């Protein structure tokens, strides 16, 4: 079955009190828009249309980064949900298949829920997604007769008896493209807000003798985000679900509530994550690796048996092979460390390659930036880099070479060589006490 997604992302999100469009506020390192679009991918859509409005250029740019094949259309005036969906009419002209309407500020719809909506379409013309609400509040009520959805009653229009119904409307819709836009064309705006409501298509469909039903999902899936408080709540929901999933997959989380994951974090079974670890986007940790406490990882790959931290930072482009050790206060950026390499203390390795079994001493820095350009450092296999070595890139260190402690390396070091590059030490007898006396006298004068 051909599927098209129409994702509504035109809202300003006034309660966010932000210059950023609501759907671009992030959950787990990705905008809400990305979460909603990714959920829809389970249906393998032939077309995706995003309806933008407020700050449409920003929404369009973000959409292009997430899905370059998606079409962005503009809702110049926000005249209701039916009006918003209608903006996709031209983009879907001639499309032969079903349309699923999603919302950019409702990011937690599960794959299985969308699949059940499509399955229900096999026997119904129009499918609505509903949920049993613990506190129905002012949600629209779904009035069912067996499997048949008779009508949607808005809270303000509901009788006392109807308000007792707890099966509520989420807003998601699945319908054949031609039928959907025919129903929308019949929606009016004779209401207090003067808006065109997508919920009205249910009554219109029933009046035309079409079969309408509602599929139920868990209320947590329908969490809509309209304020900073709800955004924080959504982040907590995502993190709790992601942690639980990792635990089920066989990952050890020593203190789960202190570990923060990104929307695309991948961690293999038998990996161990210690407390207070933060994963930014683009991280893969293989089975059996260990990420120690207070480490921060983003855009990196950690192989089997590697140990990272505590207090380590892996930045984008960091690639750690099997059994690599990266210790406390070590930062790796755009660099590869081959199997068995070690950098255990107080080190920065950027724009570099480190060969297998090489040891990087404490205080080592790859001086990769000259103020304009970045340069690479290449370190071979079985190298010993002495503590406090400055490697001024571009520079190459050959296999089994060694640098002396405190060396400033500005030229290539050939294989098996020892590089010593530091100023000769001189001791000046009596000069320390004279210098202290001079400085103390100066300090005393300044206090007068």
Active-site residues, by number, are 345
Q: What would the two tokens of residue 142 be?
A: 């779904």
The span from the CA of 332 to the CA of 338, in Å, is: 13
Query: How many Cα atoms within 13 Å fall on the side-chain side of residue 178?
Result: 4
Distance of alpha carbon 353 from alpha carbon 334, whole angstroms = 9
Reported as type and span, the H/E element at residue 30 is strand 30-31
Alpha carbons 327 and 292: distance in angstroms, whole number: 9
DSSP 8-state symbol, 53: B
Q: What whole-number distance in Å separates Cα of residue 219 and Cα of residue 240? A: 16
Q: Which two tokens stand for residue 401?
A: 């070479």
Contact 139, 169 (CB under 8 A): yes
Cα 190 vs. chain centroid, distance in angstroms? 41
Are 336 and 313 spatial neighbours (Cβ–Cβ below 8 Å)?
no
Please enumerate in sequence order all residues whose Cβ is within 8 A of that of 88, keeping only pairs 6 or more positions apart, or say none: 6, 49, 51, 73, 99
* Total H helices, total E strands in the chain: 9, 33
Q: Evaluate whether 273 touches 256 at the Cβ level (below 8 Å).
A: no
Tokens of 422: 């530091």
Q: Measured between alpha carbons, how far is 349 from 333 in angstroms, rounded to an integer?
A: 6
CA 170 from centroid of its chain's CA atoms: 24
């Amino acid at each position: 079955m051909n599927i098209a997604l129409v994702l509504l992302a035109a809202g300003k999100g006034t309660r966010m009190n932000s210059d950023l469009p609501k759907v671009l506020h992030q959950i787990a390192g990705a905008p809400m828009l990305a979460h909603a679009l990714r959920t829809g991918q389970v249906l393998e859509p032939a077309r995706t249309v995003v309806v933008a409005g407020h700050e449409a250029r920003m929404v369009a740019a973000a959409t292009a980064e997430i899905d370059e094949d998606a079409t962005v259309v503009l809702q110049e005036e926000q005249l209701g949900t039916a009006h918003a969906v209608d903006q996709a009419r031209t983009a879907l002209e001639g499309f032969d298949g079903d349309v699923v309407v999603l919302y950019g500020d409702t990011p937690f719809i599960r794959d299985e829920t969308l699949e059940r909506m499509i399955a229900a379409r096999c026997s119904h013309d129009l499918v609505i997604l509903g949920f049993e609400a613990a506190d129905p509040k002012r949600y629209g009520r779904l009035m069912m007769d067996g499997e048949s959805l008779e009508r949607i009653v808005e809270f303000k229009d509901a009788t006392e008896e109807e308000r007792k119904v707890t099966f509520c409307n989420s807003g998601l819709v699945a319908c054949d493209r031609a039928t959907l836009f025919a129903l929308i064309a019949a929606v009016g705006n004779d209401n207090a807000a003067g808006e065109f409501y997508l919920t009205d298509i249910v009554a219109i469909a029933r009046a035309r003798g079409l079969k309408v039903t509602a599929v139920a999902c868990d209320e947590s899936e329908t969490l809509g985000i309209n304020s900073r408080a709800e955004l924080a709540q959504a982040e907590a929901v995502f993190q709790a679900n992601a942690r639980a999933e990792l635990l089920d997959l066989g990952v050890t989380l020593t203190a789960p509530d202190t570990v923060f994951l990104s929307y695309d974090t991948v961690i293999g079974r038998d990996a161990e994550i210690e407390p207070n670890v933060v994963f930014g986007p683009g991280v893969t940790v293989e089975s059996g690796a260990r990420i120690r406490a207070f480490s921060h990882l983003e855009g990196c790959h950690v192989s089997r048996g590697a140990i990272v931290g505590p207090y380590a930072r892996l930045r984008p482009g960091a690639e750690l092979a099997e059994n690599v050790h990266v210790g406390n206060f070590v930062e790796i950026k755009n660099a590869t460390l081959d199997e068995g390499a070690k950098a255990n203390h107080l080190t920065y390795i950027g724009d570099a390659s480190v060969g297998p079994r090489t040891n990087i001493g404490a205080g080592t820095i790859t001086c990769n930036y000259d103020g304009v350009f970045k340069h690479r450092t290449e370190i071979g296999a079985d190298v010993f880099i002495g503590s406090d070595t400055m490697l001024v890139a571009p520079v190459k260190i050959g296999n089994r070479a060694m640098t002396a402690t405190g060396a400033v390396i500005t030229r290539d070091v050939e294989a098996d060589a020892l590089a010593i590059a530091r100023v000769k030490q001189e001791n000046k007898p009596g000069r320390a006490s004279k210098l202290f006396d001079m400085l103390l006298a100066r300090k005393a004068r300044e206090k007068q």
